[in-house]
C-alpha cells in the first residue's frame, strides 16, 4: 500500500480512467478527478463516497493548473491523446510534477518524445507516455527479454487476445491516427518509422501453451514501435495481433466491453509473447492476464508508485523499460499479470 500521495486523473470518468481511479484508491492514493464534463465527474465522485472534483478542458490552461494544484503527479486517461497529451504535459511541467499517460496512439507518442524530451529533462521531471497495455507492457517485456544484450537485430511482440470489444475512446483514437497517416499503415523497420500502402500479411505465431499456434495479422503496429526504439538499439520492431481480435476491432457492429465481475472487467483474456533475436540467439518473455483496459490501470499506477518513491533510472521523456527495472516491475504486477516466461 502507498499513502500520502495525491494524483490528478484527467479523463477520470472514461472507461480506463475509472479503472485507474479504483486502482489508486485500492493502493492508498488520493485521486483528484478531472476532465471536461463536470456532471460525469460529480457522478463518479459520488460512487466513491466523495472525491475532489476539478473540471478542466484542454483548451483552458488556467483550469488545468487548478486541476493539478497540490497534486504529486498526473495520469492522463483522456483520448484522443493527439489532442490531450500536449496541454496536460504542459500543465504538469508548470506544476513541476511527473506525468503518465495511457496513450496507444503511435503519432501522439512520437509527438511526446519529439516535443518534450528537452523540456522535461531540463525540468528534472518524468514524462512517461504509453504506460498501458499497448506500448508500456510490450516495452517492459522486450527490455526484460534482452537482459544484458546492448543491441538486438529485431524484436517481435505478439498479442494473443481472445477478442477485442473496443471502447468509444479506442475507436476515436483509431480514427485520428488513420487520418494523420492518410490511411496508410505504419511499421518500424531499418531503424525508423515507415508508412506503407500495402496490406499487412497474415501469419502464424506459436504462443506459449495452452494458446499454442494462432493466426495473427503481421505488422499490426502498436505503440511498442515508439517505446522500444526510444531506448533500445533494435532496428526492427514488429507487432502482431490475433486475427479474431483484429476482426472484432474492425467490425462496425462490435459492442463495447461489458463488465462480468465485481471489478468491472470484461471476459477478455490476453497473452503477450515477445521474441528478441540477436545474431543466431533468441530470447523470450511472455505474460498473460485479463482485460486489456483494466490491466492498464495497475500498469499506470505501479509506474506512479515507482516514480513517487524514487525507484526510477532517468528523467525526461522516457518509456517504461527505460525508467524501471523491467523484470522486477513485471513481477510487482502480480496478481494482475501472470509471468509465463521471462528470459
Short-list 48, 55, 56, CA closest to 31:
48
Are 273 and 252 members of one domain?
yes
Are 284 and 148 members of one domain?
yes
Tens of pLDDT along 51-75?
999 999 999 999 999 999 999 999 9
Question: 1 lies in a domain?
Answer: no
- Res 343 pLDDT > 70: no
Are 60 and 177 members of one domain?
no
Tens of pLDDT along 147-167?
999 999 999 999 999 999 999
Are 144 and 201 members of one domain?
yes
- Backbone phi, psi, residue 95, to 5°: -80, -15
CB 242 within 8 A of CB 159: yes
State how many domains the chain has: 2
- Across 226-244, average pLDDT: 98
Q: What is the pLDDT of residue 82?
A: 96
Question: 332 lies in a domain?
Answer: no
Question: 178 lies in a domain?
Answer: yes
Q: Confidence band (pLDDT; 50, 70, 90) for 3?
A: low
Specify the higher pLDDT residue, 342 or 121.
Answer: 121
CB 257 within 8 A of CB 268: yes
Q: Confidence band (pLDDT; 50, 70, 90) for 281?
A: very high
Expressed as residue numbers, the domain containing 276 is 133-291
Tens of pLDDT along 112-137?
999 999 999 999 999 999 999 999 99
Are 150 and 195 members of one domain?
yes
Short-list 171, 260, 159, CA closest to 203:
159
Cα gap 30→155, rounded to integer Å: 38
Model pTM above 0.85? yes
Q: What is the pLDDT of residue 4?
A: 85
How many other CB atoms are found less than 10 A from the CB of residue 49? 7
The rounded percent of the chain whose pLDDT value lies above 70 is 99
CATH code for the domain in which residue 139 is found? 3.30.360.10
Are 85 and 229 members of one domain?
no
- Across 271-283, average pLDDT: 97
Strands 126-128 and 316-317 turn out to be parallel
Question: 313 lies in a domain?
Answer: yes
CATH code for the domain in which residue 45 is found? 3.40.50.720
Are 269 and 159 members of one domain?
yes
Tens of pLDDT along 283-302?
999 999 999 999 999 999 99
Are 226 and 301 members of one domain?
no
Are 187 and 306 members of one domain?
no
Amino acid at each position: 500500500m502507498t499513502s500520502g500521495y495525491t494524483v490528478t486523473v484527467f479523463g477520470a470518468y472514461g472507461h480506463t480512467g475509472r479503472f485507474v481511479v479504483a486502482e489508486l484508491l485500492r493502493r492508498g492514493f488520493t485521486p483528484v478527478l478531472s476532465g471536461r464534463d463536470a456532471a460525469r465527474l460529480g457522478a463518479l465522485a459520488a460512487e466513491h463516497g466523495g472525491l475532489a472534483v476539478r473540471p478542466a478542458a484542454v483548451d483552458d490552461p488556467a483550469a488545468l493548473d487548478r486541476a493539478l494544484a497540490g497534486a504529486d503527479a498526473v495520469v492522463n486517461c483522456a483520448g484522443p491523446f493527439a489532442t490531450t497529451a500536449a496541454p496536460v504535459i504542459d500543465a504538469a511541467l508548470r506544476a513541476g510534477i511527473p506525468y503518465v499517460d495511457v496513450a496507444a496512439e503511435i503519432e501522439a507518442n512520437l509527438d511526446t518524445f519529439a516535443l518534450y524530451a528537452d523540456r522535461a529533462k531540463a525540468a528534472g521531471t518524468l514524462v512517461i507516455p504509453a504506460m498501458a497495455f499497448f506500448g508500456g507492457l510490450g516495452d517492459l517485456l522486450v527490455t526484460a527479454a534482452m537482459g544484458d544484450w546492448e543491441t538486438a537485430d529485431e524484436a517481435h511482440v505478439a498479442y494473443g487476445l481472445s477478442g477485442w470489444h473496443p471502447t468509444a475512446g479506442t475507436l476515436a483514437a483509431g480514427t485520428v491516427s488513420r487520418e494523420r497517416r492518410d490511411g496508410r499503415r505504419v511499421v518500424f523497420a531499418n531503424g525508423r518509422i515507415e508508412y506503407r500502402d500495402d496490406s499487412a500479411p497474415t501469419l502464424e505465431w506459436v504462443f506459449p501453451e495452452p494458446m499454442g499456434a494462432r493466426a495473427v495479422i503481421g505488422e499490426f503496429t502498436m505503440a511498442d514501435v515508439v517505446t522500444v526504439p526510444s531506448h533500445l538499439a533494435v532496428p526492427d520492431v514488429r507487432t502482431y495481433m490475433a486475427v479474431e481480435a483484429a476482426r472484432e476491432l474492425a467490425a462496425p457492429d462490435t459492442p463495447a466491453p461489458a463488465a462480468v465481475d465485481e471489478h468491472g472487467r470484461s471476459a477478455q483474456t490476453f497473452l503477450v509473447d515477445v521474441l528478441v533475436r540477436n545474431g543466431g540467439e533468441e530470447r523470450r518473455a511472455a505474460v498473460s492476464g485479463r482485460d486489456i483496459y483494466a490491466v492498464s490501470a495497475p500498469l499506470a499506477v505501479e509506474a506512479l508508485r515507482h516514480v513517487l518513491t524514487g525507484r526510477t533510472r532517468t528523467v525526461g521523456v522516457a518509456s517504461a523499460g527505460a525508467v524501471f527495472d523491467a523484470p522486477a516491475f513485471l513481477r510487482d504486477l502480480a496478481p494482475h499479470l501472470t509471468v509465463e516466461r521471462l528470459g
